Amino acid sequence: MTNANIMRMSELCVPTLKEDPTDAEIASHKLLLRAGMIRKTASGVYTFLPLGKRVLAKVERIVREEMDAIGSQEIMMPALQPGELWHESGRWNDYGPELMRLVDRHDREFCLGPTHEELITALVRNELRSYKELPLTLYQIQVKFRDEIRPRFGLLRSREFIMKDAYSFHASQESLQKTYDDMSAAYGRICERMDMDYRPVEADSGQIGGSVTCEFMALAEAGEAELVHCACGWAANAEAGDCLARPTVYDVPAMEKVATPGVHTIAELAAFLDIPESSTVKALSGKNDAGDLVVLFIPGDHELNELKAERVAGGFTLLTDEDMEAFGLHKGSMGPVGLPEAARVIAARSLQAVPKWVVGANEDGYHYVGAQLGVDFKVDEWADLCIVQPGDSCPKCGLPLEGARGIEVSQVFQLGDKYSKAMGATFMAEDGSEQPFLMGCYGVGVSRTMAAIVEQHNDENGIAWPFSVAPAHVCVLPLTVGDDEVQPAAEKLAGDLAKLGLEVVIDDRKERAGVKFADADLVGWPLQVVVGKRGLAEGKVEIKHRKTGARRDISLMALTDAVAFAQ
Ligand code: ATP
Ligand code: MG
Ligand code: MG
Ligand code: MG
């Protein structure tokens, strides 16, 4: 007897591996390979095999449902993007080597989209005319390309990956704020539906350079982001600047190159240079030609921690009058000042010390010390100047903060008029004037989320998928294939479970029971139903809950009743 609604292990392409692959360092990478869900095609480029594709589709479905529920409309933009648009926004130059560029046969510049602000702004510029058509939110679920300096950890940091990206367009800040709030709530629900232990980390929670943005972090040791969080729910980014670990090509002979063996994090670098880590100022996207992270060291703790600044167009920060006063800076003397400049002035004035810039060199194990801002590198965007450490008291409730690592699974962002202004995307406002659209952008790393889920749901035997994203809900395991009692009973059971609305797979391979158990645990079906001769004689099968390992007998009669009831 066969049943079209169930999947068969004898037919499925699930090439499981007994041993850990040597080039995989973390659980999700190892287990997704071992469970036969993904295969590496090139560095940071993966193929999804049938079960992996099913999980991906489940994650996508949850994301899609939550997007549709808040009125975001699905579209599909091309991955191949004309360079022209990137020149308009200024990012053809600014994006750096992460942008995958190519030239067509007519010598026209293109890139493979790492994100789609340019494309969508150009679209809306042509299609929307009036405030009456606003607000509008569009999204897509699509492949993205980023030539990451260091692709690693399988799906966590790849060069080709799946992202859901949404973009919203507004006539007013209130309208942008509303959509931003709706998106944030949807992102929370997405994480919850996938049983994710996550923290929303607001980048402007008392930190400098705060643009309105929030990152959703899945807590996991393998995560690249360092966080502090509190039982009350407050969390902040304490970025450890992993970028320091892998400096890229960047050669400025004028700077002092020092060997920094074994230095991979800011903490290690600070220790190496004998500077307290609390005195580091970190630039998240401080940039040289290679897009390296740049760190400013200021000896000793200082008032920077209290510095408040406002973001202005262009990614720089503007000190408020209050700040200027607080730091003894002469009002008006600096104009709209870049924060790095302010940091130098403040450091120089209050500590009589010139800050020391350290950037990654073009060799692993080396850094440049004494680089000059504006000469050797520039800084586009600053964050995390207020460094919060584990043990500090929570700014919200006063309890001591805990340290944790996180995986950035998604991010919401208020862009304002950054792109619409640069690209001349305007609409007619209610008063008849032409105004640039206010925009928001919102990204979910769909393939990264799949890996993040595995990081949080695994044990020594394999993956334990949450029900909502599992490749199937239940695996029926006939202990003896070909047995004229066990086999038909298992087939009927599988059919019954499918009738109850479950997604069912049957392990009908002619393998030893031990092999089947091991594969079922490795692949991570949430439920396993074991059909054996002895149980059948008593009218029972055994059901195992993968996550907890709990086992229980269920009577076949009860199941048949349930199916009859459901029909
Ligand atoms: P990261 O800080 O990890 O480099 P990002 O801030 O550059 O990520 P965004 O531009 O915010 O990423 O993109 C939206 C989402 O896309 C991220 O929150 C993340 O989930 C996902 N993402 C970004 N880069 C990658 C990558 N290299 N591989 C897989 N997913 C990624
Ligand atoms: Mg990135
Ligand atoms: Mg990020
Ligand atoms: Mg991000």
Percent of the chain with pLDDT strictly greater than 90: 60
Ligand 1 within 6 A of CB of 410: yes
274 has pLDDT over 90: no
Q: Which residue, among 509, 512, 452, has the nearest Cα to 15 in the 3D structure? A: 509
Q: What does the mean pLDDT of the chain come to?
A: 80
Tokens 């066990």 belong to residue? 486
Percent of the chain with pLDDT strictly greater than 70: 72
Check residues 79 and 268 and name the one with the higher pLDDT. Answer: 79
**Which range, 160-169, 280-289, 398-407, is most confident?**
160-169
- Mean pLDDT is lowest, of 143-152, 314-323, 533-542, for 314-323
1 has pLDDT over 70: no
Which ligand is nearest to the Cα of residue 448, counting in written order?
A: 1
Distances (CA, A) of 177 to 210, 315, 391, 439: 16, 19, 33, 10
Residues with CB under 5 A from ligand 4 (ion): 411
Q: In the prediction, which pLDDT does 369 show?
A: 64
557 has pLDDT over 70: yes
Which ligand is nearest to the Cα of residue 409, counting in written order?
A: 1
Tokens 């390309």 belong to residue? 145
Distances (CA, A) of 103 to 109, 290, 557: 5, 21, 66
Dihedral sign from CA coordinates of 502, 503, 508, 514: negative
Q: Which residue, among 122, 243, 177, 227, has the nearest Cα to 412 in the 3D structure? A: 177
Q: In the prediction, which pLDDT does 491 show?
A: 95
SS (H, E, C) 351-413: HCCCCEEEEECCCCCEEEECCCECCCEEECCCCCCCCCCCCCECCCCCCECEEEEEEEEEEEE
The strand ranges marked E within 417-562 are 426-428, 434-436, 438-445, 458-459, 462-463, 474-478, 504-506, 527-531, 540-545, 551-555
What is the residue with the minimal CA distance to atom 16 of ligand 1?
A: 445
Ligand 1 within 6 A of CB of 147: no
Confidence of residue 329 (pLDDT cuts 50, 70, 90): very low
In which element (H, E) is residue 80 found?
strand 80-82
Check residues 285 and 226 and name the one with the higher pLDDT. Answer: 226
Q: In the prediction, which pLDDT does 282 show?
A: 40
Q: In the prediction, which pLDDT does 277 show?
A: 56
Query: What whole-number distance in Å separates Cα of residue 188 and Cα of residue 232?
Result: 16
Strand 527-531 with 474-478, pairing: parallel
Q: In the prediction, which pLDDT does 281 show?
A: 44
Query: What whole-number distance in Å separates Cα of residue 378 and Cα of residue 285?
Result: 10
What is residue 240's DSSP assignment? -
Q: 20-46: per-residue pLDDT in tens?
A: 999 899 999 999 999 999 999 999 999
Ligand 1 within 6 A of CB of 367: no
Ligand 1 within 6 A of CB of 457: no
Q: 491-529: per-residue pLDDT in tens?
A: 999 999 999 999 999 999 999 999 999 999 999 999 999
Task: Report CA(59)–ligand 2 centroid distance (Å).
Answer: 21
